[in-house]
Structure 1
């Protein structure tokens, strides 16, 4: 992120100077809406916008349904992915890259969903994988990671402690760090979320994209896709990005309220139903704040009660979504967007965590 260049063929996982996340020098031109007809029914239909050719590890990820909720807000059902979360969008790119580089081992860190996705795609690619998770991770998510054959390392402490343990392992020779935060290939996978919304809406985007933010990988991917579509003349205006955090762990929302360009006075994470976005120090904080600001968007926070009620509300509509995955609906279901059209992602299946507070 400081201008230092790293070879795409190396196993380097961070900037060797600042130890910050990497970005990818890649500015593709998306295909027109008409030319997408008849293509493969997965995220690989957007081949021009992906930094890797379609890999042999694909599980048919992508092309999840878009369904209306109410008052101009629709939901994209990304919990209907192969491992039941949106993280498959980026994990398939990481597995494809790892397969090309041929490491001795793959390591990842996660509060559950990213680790599950990486474990599944590494299993598909027949790559040995170790996933570092914090204590307190949902038992169902641990079961899913283990079922894919990954070795589990449960780290004492919070999500950040698991990340630090994985990064230490990532420095070992021959190791590919399948980081959904540090590796930019992951963001180029998550951006397909917006390419699909654009296609499903007939070549347009809603006025607002509402996105959950912990490490910000879905929001940053969305910003990439919006920029690509706009630069190609395929949309005439950019939607506002509304970033949602749990009130219990909202370092970016706090920085936003302070008018800051980076984190301000970060405090330790508090317990929250939205465990998947409980990130007190996101490494891409500056990028996230800049992306929201440049889009004309804002930050919203949701209390634990609002998360719990939103999960029950969606379940009553036939959509059983995990507690982290309902955060965006919790933020906008009471009409905060007014008459503006919007899309919210439902990111993970309810079977992964059960009902909030149950």
Structure 2
């Protein structure tokens, strides 16, 4: 039984489609879907007695049921101080060692209800490992498209979960194109962390957890790494929901962080643009997980940051290396992409109380500039 299913809505041309279909993008403009879903308020006082996973925020989740069939106990990651005003949320302590579990569990739950012939995903590593793991939990056939040069440890993890790793010659964009072509085949569920909005409704639990852990408050500033923007857009969703229901008294500023080497969104933001003028030139960066030259949700990301009163920051490769070493010396071993926000915040003052996410474990990639043996 599918239970209550919501509808997809295209934010560009207002086309609609049922979420019970395998339509992975808007058939008119080929853009990513939004979800026609209204969250109900989550009662803070009831949370201590609830299930210890992100499914505890049932009123805010579009696929919530009394007994969700897919979970690995994801969510509820620790919040630890780094300075007097900056705390880190340790999302690298998720079951597959990255924050992508928040969205992957939603996609796997949806796929289980739709019963496709196969599930495919594309990823530079973390989203692919998360989808592979949750498909394994759900008993779903899965293939993950990855670019050449993906960390051997991430490939090992994908295959260990029983998924097929399809290595694509070329960069992250070429990998996405190959996966989208395969997604048009009959009976395929495209578990896209970019195009499917259920993923964003999973990542928004990051902010719900902060709200719960801070006793019904949010910090002044939320600093978020941005490539395709799945965490930032999820956080923006949560902030708007919490504020609309009167559960917080202010909206935090959203500060988006990109690697200086690949920073098309930061350039567009500071130029006052509403869209990207075109794809950025792909350049090597240690922060491979956010090296996205042409994010499909660019306009939404720019709009969300501006609406919050936030900004974009960029970090150099040297600052990424230094931040990773600094966190390791504090006992936190995080992959280079996952340290980007700390790299930005270390050199920034005046943000007030701030939370940064540490998104992926260092065990997946090793230290910056070193190969994993």
With the shorter chain as reference, the TM-score category is: over 0.9
Unmatched segments (≥5 aa) in structure 1: none
Unmatched segments (≥5 aa) in structure 2: 1-10
1:137 maps to which residue? 150
TM-score (norm 1): 0.98
1:343 maps to which residue? 355
Distance in 2, Cα, partners of 1:286 & 1:80: 31
Distance in 1, Cα, partners of 2:351 & 2:126: 33
Matched, 1:14 2:14: no
1:95 maps to which residue? 108
2:281 maps to which residue? 268
2:187 to 170, 174, 185: 174
2:7 maps to which residue? none
1:236-251 matches, within 5 Å, as 236-251=249-264
Number of residue-to-residue matches in the alignment: 357
Distance in 2, Cα, partners of 1:98 & 1:286: 28
Question: Displacement of 1:33 after TM fit?
Answer: 1.4
| Superposition RMSD in Å | 0.8
Matched, 1:41 2:41: no
Question: Displacement of 1:264 after TM fit?
Answer: 2.4
Distance in 1, Cα, partners of 2:288 & 2:68: 31
SS at match of 1:301: strand
Is residue 302–residue 330 contact of structure 1 (8 Å, CA) maintained in 2? yes
Distance in 2, Cα, partners of 1:31 & 1:131: 34
1:207-356 matches, within 5 Å, as 207-334=220-347, 336-338=348-350, 340-356=352-368
Question: Displacement of 1:339 after TM fit?
Answer: 5.7
Is residue 30–residue 46 contact of structure 1 (8 Å, CA) maintained in 2? no
Distance in 2, Cα, partners of 1:206 & 1:338: 13
Question: More deviation in 84-93 or 33-42?
Answer: 33-42
1:31 maps to which residue? 42
Question: Displacement of 1:265 after TM fit?
Answer: 4.4
TM-score (norm 2): 0.95
Point out which structure has higher relative CO (alpha carbons under 8 A, 6+ apart): 1
Q: For residues 141-163 of structure 1, give each alpha carbon's deviation from its aligned partner in whole angstroms, at most 9, with x where no partner exists.
A: 01100100101110000000000
2:201 maps to which residue? 188
Matched, 1:148 2:161: yes
Question: Displacement of 1:55 after TM fit?
Answer: 2.4
Is residue 204–residue 237 contact of structure 2 (8 Å, CA) maintained in 1? yes
SS at match of 1:291: helix
